[in-house]
């Protein structure tokens, strides 16, 4: 099969298309023809081996490969069609359109992946294309996870820092479906998009520091690795909740102290990417309550350009590689 591979760590140019072995599915697995995969910041970090959260470096080096990538095919989030199923599979059949995550098994930059029947996948929303569906799992699963952790009530105020990223875009929309008033923080060129998906207020982070403008919020959801922990806590209302999607090691310790010594809480728990959450996202999309935002779709042969677009931060929505 054809796949986008990287055989050494480095810039986007290390990505290239190569023929690799087609995976064989086991009795409890399904073989999926990948039609589209999201190119994510995480993919770019694994490719370059540069992580904004430094405590990830050692475990990721052991996981991914010390001198060179152990698995040369990147990609975790996908949409595609079931091509074949093992004899023990009852949930899916050939021809089913599915979307989901391979998690750290990776592999979605290839034409085929194998996943267990009870893996992180389910039927695609019936009103999306493959490219749109591939742009859902990363952002949608993480945003839904954290918005549920926030225990949002109608009328509460939410600030999303990094609102124009894959996760932030869904967080804004999910918070709105829960009845919150949402303030989005990001670069100025993303303001129109963010207001278009429901943000009530917008802050250009280059002009205004939300931790110093005197406003407070019931919930702050932060997706930016370099952030002011103390400033964000000060920007919470009494009994406010601070959620961190990219925690530094110091955040883990400070989160415990804050939750123990104040009336405010800090959540740093990572999303588990459950099938139930995928199904909830599917229902929200089919009901027209949330939608994916795709910036550009690149063919496999332009995977390096897709990564450059992700890293430029000029994108307006998600970047997808088509299979």
pLDDT in tens, the chain (323 residues): 999 999 999 999 999 999 999 999 999 999 999 999 999 999 999 999 988 766 666 777 777 787 899 999 999 999 999 999 999 999 999 999 999 999 989 999 999 999 999 999 999 999 999 999 999 999 999 999 999 999 999 999 999 999 999 999 999 999 999 999 999 999 999 999 999 999 999 999 999 999 999 999 999 999 998 889 999 999 999 999 999 998 888 888 899 899 889 999 999 988 899 999 999 999 999 999 999 999 999 999 999 999 999 999 899 999 999 98
DSSP helix/strand/coil, 15: coil
User: 137, 77 in Cβ contact below 8 A?
Assistant: yes
pLDDT of 56 reads 64
| Tokens describing residue 304 | 């390096």
pLDDT of 278 reads 98
**For residues 5 and 14, what is the distance between their CA atoms, to the nearest angstrom?**
8
**For residues 78 and 109, what is the distance between their CA atoms, to the nearest angstrom?**
9
The residue length of the chain stands at 323
Please state, in angstroms and as integers, the Cα–Cα distance from residue 286 to each residue in 123, 144, 275, 282, 308, following that order. 12, 16, 16, 6, 32
What is the DSSP secondary-structure string of 150-201?
A: TT--TT-EEEEETTTSHHHHHHHHHHHHTT-EEEEEE-GGGHHHHHHTT-SE
DSSP helix/strand/coil, 20: coil
**Helices 275-286/137-149 angle, 10° precision:** 100
User: 10, 92 in Cβ contact below 8 A?
Assistant: no
Across-strand partners of 100? Answer: 78, 121
Please state, in angstroms and as integers, the Cα–Cα distance from residue 117 to each residue in 32, 108, 145, 239, following that order. 11, 17, 23, 42
**For residues 73 and 152, what is the distance between their CA atoms, to the nearest angstrom?**
38
Of 136, 152, 23, the C-alpha closest to 83 is 23
pTM of the model: 0.95
Distance, first Cα to last Cα, the chain: 11
How much of the chain is in helix, strand and coil states, percent to nearest 5?
A: 35, 25, 40
Domains of the chain, start order? 2-136+292-322 (3.90.180.10), 139-267 (3.40.50.720)
Helical H runs in the chain? 41-48, 57-64, 130-134, 137-149, 166-177, 191-196, 229-234, 249-261, 275-286, 303-312
Q: Is 167 exposed, middle or buried (0-12, 13-18, 19+ CB in 10 A)?
A: buried
pLDDT of 55 reads 63
Neighbours of 250 (CB within 10 A): 10
């Amino acid at each position: 099969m054809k796949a986008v591979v990287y055989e050494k760590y480095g810039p986007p140019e290390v990505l290239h298309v190569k023929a690799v072995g087609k995976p064989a599915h086991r009795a409890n697995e399904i073989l999926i023809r990948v039609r589209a995969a999201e190119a994510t910041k995480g993919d770019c970090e694994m490719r370059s081996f540069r992580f904004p959260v430094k405590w990830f470096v050692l475990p990721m080096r052991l996981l991914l490969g010390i001198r060179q990538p152990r698995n040369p095919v990147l990609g975790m989030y996908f949409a595609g069609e079931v091509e074949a199923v093992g004899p023990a599979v009852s949930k899916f059949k050939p021809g089913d359109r599915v979307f989901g995550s391979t998690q750290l098994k990776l592999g979605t930059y290839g034409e085929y992946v194998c996943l267990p029947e009870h893996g992180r996948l389910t039927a695609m929303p019936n009103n999306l294309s493959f490219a749109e569906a591939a742009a859902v799992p990363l952002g949608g699963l993480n945003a839904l996870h954290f918005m549920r952790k926030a225990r949002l009530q109608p009328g509460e105020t939410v600030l999303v820092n990094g609102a124009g990223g894959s996760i932030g875009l869904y967080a804004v929309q999910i918070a709105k479906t829960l009845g919150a008033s949402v303030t989005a923080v990001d670069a100025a060129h993303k303001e129109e998009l963010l207001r278009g998906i429901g943000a009530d207020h917008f802050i250009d982070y280059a002009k205004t520091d939300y931790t110093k403008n005197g406003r407070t919020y019931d919930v702050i959801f932060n997706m930016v690795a370099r952030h002011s922990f103390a400033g964000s806590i000060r920007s919470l209302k009494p009994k406010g909740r601070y959620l961190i999607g990219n925690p530094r090691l110091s955040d883990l310790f400070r989160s415990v102290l804050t939750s123990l010594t104040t009336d405010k809480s800090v959540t740093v728990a990572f999303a588990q990417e459950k099938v139930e959450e995928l199904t909830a996202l599917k229902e929200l999309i089919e009901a027209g309550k949330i939608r994916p935002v795709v910036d550009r779709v690149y063919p496999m042969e332009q995977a390096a350009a897709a990564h450059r677009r992700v890293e430029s931060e000029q994108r307006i929505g998600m970047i997808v590689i088509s299979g």
